[in-house]
Amino acid sequence: MGELRDERVDLEIISTDLVYEGAVWNVRSDTVRYGDGQMTRQYVEHPGAAAVVAIDDDGRVVLIQQYRHPIKERDWEIPAGLLDVAGEPPIETAKRELTEEVDLEADRWQHLISMHTTPGGNDEVVHVFLARGLRSVETDYEREHEESDMRVERVPLAEVVDGVLAGRLRNGILATGALAAAEVLRREAAAS
């Protein structure tokens, strides 16, 4: 079988229509040639995002809690933001979001994973980074809307993993990032 990996497939696009143009993402309908026939699929066209598992010197993850209207909840998340600055590499977006959302910078950065959030419904890719060597910084970033009453907490990584596995923390980016960070730290500890 060789190395286990996702495969890129370039199908002939027979037609594509912009169904809805939104402020952040669009809805597109594509008809593609597939095998001996064709199929039509609608999906959300998304710019992508970057997220940060920021871990302090005490092994605590910086979490934010904010209202998310589609799920009608204040869920716990890791700092993240859209890839909405033209030409900005995902790592720079992650650094910017860490500063804007929680007034922190980090000395050490490491790419953890890049993931498709919902491959059956959108084309979003989220790049998740591990940040260590945290320090507070002064910012003049003005938080508005859901960010205006955002709660920030530092929680031991093991508690975050327990919350994910128990189903109390259901944000997919938080879950994937925390589990990936825990595995990276486990491997580092085993190697030393």
Q: Which residues contact 118 (CB under 8 A, 6 or more apart)?
A: 124
Q: What is the pTM of this model?
A: 0.91
- Which secondary structure element, helix H or strand E, spans residue 134, and what is its range? strand 125-136
Per-residue confidence (pLDDT) for residue 112, from 0 to 100: 98
Residues designated as active site? 147
Nearest to 114 by CA among 132, 97, 96, 126: 126
Q: What is the pLDDT of residue 141?
A: 65
Reduce the DSSP state of residue 112 to 3 states and report it: strand
For the segment 133-182, what is each residue's pLDDT rounded down to a tens digit? 999 998 776 756 666 678 999 999 999 999 999 999 999 999 999 999 99
| Band of pLDDT at residue 93, cut at 50, 70 and 90 | very high
Percent of the chain with pLDDT over 70: 96
- For residues 69-85, average pLDDT: 93
Residues 56, 68: Cα–Cα separation, whole Å: 26
21-56 tens-digit pLDDT: 998 899 999 999 999 999 999 999 999 999 999 999
